[in-house]
Structure 1
Amino acid sequence: MSVKNAFYAQSGGVTAVINASACGVIETARKHPDKIGKIFAGNNGILGALREELIDTSLETAEDIAALKHTPSGAFGSCRYKLASPLQDIAPYRRLIDVFRAHDIGYFFYNGGGDSQDTAHKVSLLSKEMGYPITCIGIPKTVDNDLPVTDNCPGFGSVAKYVAVSIREASFDVASMCENSTKVFLLEVMGRNAGWVAAAGGLASQNHGEAPHIILFPEVPFDQQRFLEKVQKSVQDHGYCSIVVSEGVRTDSGELLTHSTSFDAFGHIQLGGIVPTIARMIKHELGYKYHWAVADYLQRSARHIASATDVEQAYAVGKAAVEFAMQGKNAVMPAIVRESNHPYKWSIGEAALADVANIEQKIPRDFITEDGFGITESCREYLLPLIQGEDYPPFRDGMPYYVVLQNNLVEKKIHDPSAAW
């Protein structure tokens, strides 16, 4: 049996450590040329396969591949492209198999969230039916930390660290100016349906009364009166109020508190911009001067303050994905298993893609305080290990050094119907 090549792709919103997973995949595969041939990467995720735009990673030096471990964002480009159900449209799946067959690709490593794991699962099933079986291994990634089975998701620990540090530092600023200036500061963070990122802001508070004083979760319906009363009491007690707001906050009827009228490529409503709405509410009802900030891309690209635990785990799941493939496993995903909290110990387990695809893991209610505005000690115990350690990138001339790969494409072998994608 000939040695098959591999295809690796990054999907969805990138993170500070997704390239560490890519590094784990490529370095591990390079150590086993007798089992895996070339490693191709998709130029802009799964679109790279559909358009037959395959990056030949064998042309990258070992030093540059190693530098991926400390480089944020997606080195090969990502995309938000959701394949429809094969019952609705089989054409993209046929195209994928045609491209994989043309380039002798027998392994598919898909680095992404729930939608990506769903795609990998479907390809593993359909490839058999189409007469060209593909070994499909998912690699977990999402700052939202909402994949099931795995204890946590690579990318989340670094976002959690960034948010906790940012709200703590900003709150020091507000506290120093609250005598006759700003009374309220709001930080908007990511989290469509699960408030894990917002919860991480609670780590900034280590003693009673410290910021943030309020956290707004998607899991807790927004009650305007209770919220405003909490803001007012915080200002009265502490001189100011510091708030972390998840972008997915909803009313008691389940409607998003604020959103745009546009949708992303996965069919999700485009979120963002909730804090101006809440800030104006506070000004109108309470009269307090406010400032707000939106963490947006800053939170997921902050490699300079990445969690060392997160970097290590991101590399480990990439490495394990290749090892799973070489062991003959299929339609599975490496999962992080928490073995203990004190001391924190973890290992790599295994999850079936069918148990991961399109399933969201929200915050357990006992991780949120009874009043709905903070995190409990159980939540703190879960979160703290994930932000431990610093893994600074190398610096040059005062700036972090990040690698930019050549990303040379291989020659196309079949007709290019790129207009379809």
Structure 2
Amino acid sequence: MIKNAFYAQSGGVTAVINASACGVIETARKYPQQIGEMYAGHNGIIGALTEDLIDTSQESDQTIAALRNTPGGAFGSCRYKLKGLTENKAEYEHLIEVFKAHNIGYFFYNGGGDSQDTAYKVSQVGDQLGYPIICIGIPKTIDNDLAVTDNCPGFGSVAKYVALSTQEAALDVASMALTSTKVFILEVMGRHAGWIAAAGGLGKKNPKDSPHIILFPEIPFQPEQFFKKIDDCVKNCGYCMIVASEGVRNDKGEFLSATSKHDSFGHVQLGGLAPVIANMVQEKLGYKYHWAVADYLQRSARHIASQTDVEQAYEVGKAAVEFAIKGENAIMPTIVRTSNNPYRWEIGKTPLKNVANIEKKFPLTFITPDGFGITEKARTYLLPLIYGEDYPPYKDGLPDYAQLKRIFVPKKLNKLFIVSV
């Protein structure tokens, strides 16, 4: 019997995660003799546990194609971490029940390191509980911190947004620096790795250009060096532009903006670094400041997405299906850089165990000796990832994004499964 497939999105979404969904669904439709129906989990793995499956066959080819241009998570995403089999066997047994009821033999999970861990666990449980299922992870994360793959779909577009926002905000601040703001702080995402913050430096072509300071999670925050750098910038350039990663820590390894709360993955929730830094500047130097937090805007900005990023996101989704129908299992498609100039890349693969819960930090060789900037080596790596523009279609002055029907598959299990979120 031809098996059906399950696809789901997980973790924080990106401007291009739906391009991967488009790649998965369009490719699966080309192989009706190998893959039957393609179901999408409503809100990630939770949709599988609660048997809330969206029937993608009810969406037209035109709508699926429009996913390539649409930000957010079209089928709903989640932050939900599966425990180990010995810790919660009932959860896995129920998952297999749902798969059996809907004849699901393919599992595609689109997310970052925690999500690849989920895909890896499902691949193992298929063997342990006697239900064969092919599990393919699909890379996605704006943080660019997945191991093995050269870069992660989702990062290139955020990098482009941050580089552009840094450049434009600096022009604004510089024009008012004589009588107004002296210090501007742009806080960007990046809990443990400084890839996104580093992208803010791509517009810097001359020593006095912004950003004047980049704060990386990899470099312990040194207040006195920081304040001196700000003071020097204001005196020499008229103002100081700072790009700060949310995950900046002190020399004890403590987040500067940590709260007492934790998310569902167990990560400490951060309370906002920009106002913390701004208050320090005010108390120490007395300069007038402004700050902004890019927050969800940076990861949802499909209108300024990188063409490289869109293409790669689609291709890893496509490759996931092609690997699956060839019998590959417990792997993740990767992006392999084959040339910097001209920039070329191809699709590779790696076992899920090599990427599950493994973080790739921003290399210290990419950071200038003073700890506040990026090197030419970093620029060589980063620039190709923001190449090209892939504008969505516009209607009445606004992007015309996909609108799904989201028709659910009738439930077959007479069982209510409670998921604690």
| TM-score, shorter chain, exceeding 0.5 | yes
Cα offsets for 1:5-26 (capped at 9, x unmatched): 0000000000000000000000
Partner residue, 2:148: 149
| C-alpha RMSD over aligned residues | 0.7
Q: Work out the CA distance in 2 between the residues paired with 1:78 and 1:220.
A: 32
Q: Work out the CA distance in 2 between the residues paired with 1:417 and 1:269.
A: 31
Partner residue, 1:394: 393
Partner residue, 2:182: 183
Partner residue, 2:280: 281
User: Shift in Å at residue 129 of structure 1?
Assistant: 1.6
Q: Work out the CA distance in 2 between the residues paired with 1:30 and 1:321.
A: 13
Partner residue, 2:62: 63
**SS of residue matched to 1:418:** coil
Q: Work out the CA distance in 2 between the residues paired with 1:239 and 1:362.
A: 33
Residue correspondence of structure 1 range 317-396 to structure 2 within 5 A: 317-396=316-395
**SS of residue matched to 1:87:** coil
Q: Work out the CA distance in 2 between the residues paired with 1:244 and 1:87.
A: 44
**2:64 is equivalent to residue 75 of structure 1:** no
Q: Work out the CA distance in 1 between the residues paired with 2:270 and 2:247.
A: 7
Partner residue, 1:172: 171
User: Shift in Å at residue 272 of structure 1?
Assistant: 4.0
* 1:72 alignment partner AA: P
Q: Work out the CA distance in 2 between the residues paired with 1:261 and 1:408.
A: 40
Q: Work out the CA distance in 2 between the residues paired with 1:375 and 1:110.
A: 33
Residue 44 of structure 2 contacts residue 78 of structure 2 at CA under 8 Å; is this kept in 1? yes
Q: Work out the CA distance in 2 between the residues paired with 1:346 and 1:191.
A: 25
**SS of residue matched to 1:419:** coil
Q: Work out the CA distance in 2 between the residues paired with 1:371 and 1:172.
A: 24
Partner residue, 1:87: 86
Partner residue, 1:264: 263
**SS of residue matched to 2:258:** coil
% identical aligned pairs: 67
Residue 217 of structure 1 contacts residue 248 of structure 1 at CA under 8 Å; is this kept in 2? yes
**SS of residue matched to 1:94:** helix
Q: Work out the CA distance in 1 between the residues paired with 2:205 and 2:96.
A: 53
User: Shift in Å at residue 100 of structure 1?
Assistant: 0.5
Q: Work out the CA distance in 1 between the residues paired with 2:207 and 2:158.
A: 24
Residue 220 of structure 1 contacts residue 372 of structure 1 at CA under 8 Å; is this kept in 2? yes
Q: Work out the CA distance in 1 between the residues paired with 2:268 and 2:153.
A: 24
Q: Work out the CA distance in 2 between the residues paired with 1:307 and 1:39.
A: 28
TM-score, normalised to structure 1's length? 0.99
Q: Which sections of structure 1, spanning at least 5 residues, go unmatched? A: none
* 2:413 alignment partner AA: I
User: Shift in Å at residue 125 of structure 1?
Assistant: 1.1
How many pairs does the alignment contain? 420
Worse overlay, 78-87 or 192-201? 78-87
Q: Which sections of structure 2, spanning at least 5 residues, go unmatched? A: none
Q: Work out the CA distance in 1 between the residues paired with 2:216 and 2:415.
A: 45
Q: Work out the CA distance in 2 between the residues paired with 1:401 and 1:206.
A: 35
Residue correspondence of structure 1 range 147-296 to structure 2 within 5 A: 147-296=146-295
**SS of residue matched to 1:69:** helix
* 1:238 alignment partner AA: C
* 2:359 alignment partner AA: E
Q: Work out the CA distance in 2 between the residues paired with 1:319 and 1:369.
A: 38
Q: Work out the CA distance in 1 between the residues paired with 2:297 and 2:258.
A: 20
Cα offsets for 1:2-60 (capped at 9, x unmatched): 11000000000000000000000000000000000000000011000000000000000
Partner residue, 1:419: 418
Residue 215 of structure 2 contacts residue 244 of structure 2 at CA under 8 Å; is this kept in 1? yes
Partner residue, 1:23: 22
**SS of residue matched to 1:278:** helix
Cα offsets for 1:367-397 (capped at 9, x unmatched): 0001100000000000000000000000111
Residue 52 of structure 1 contacts residue 416 of structure 1 at CA under 8 Å; is this kept in 2? no
| Deviant stretches of 4+, over 4 Å | none
User: Shift in Å at residue 203 of structure 1?
Assistant: 0.4
User: Shift in Å at residue 404 of structure 1?
Assistant: 1.6
Cα offsets for 1:321-340 (capped at 9, x unmatched): 00000110000000000001
Cα offsets for 1:182-231 (capped at 9, x unmatched): 00000000001001000000102122210000000000000000000000
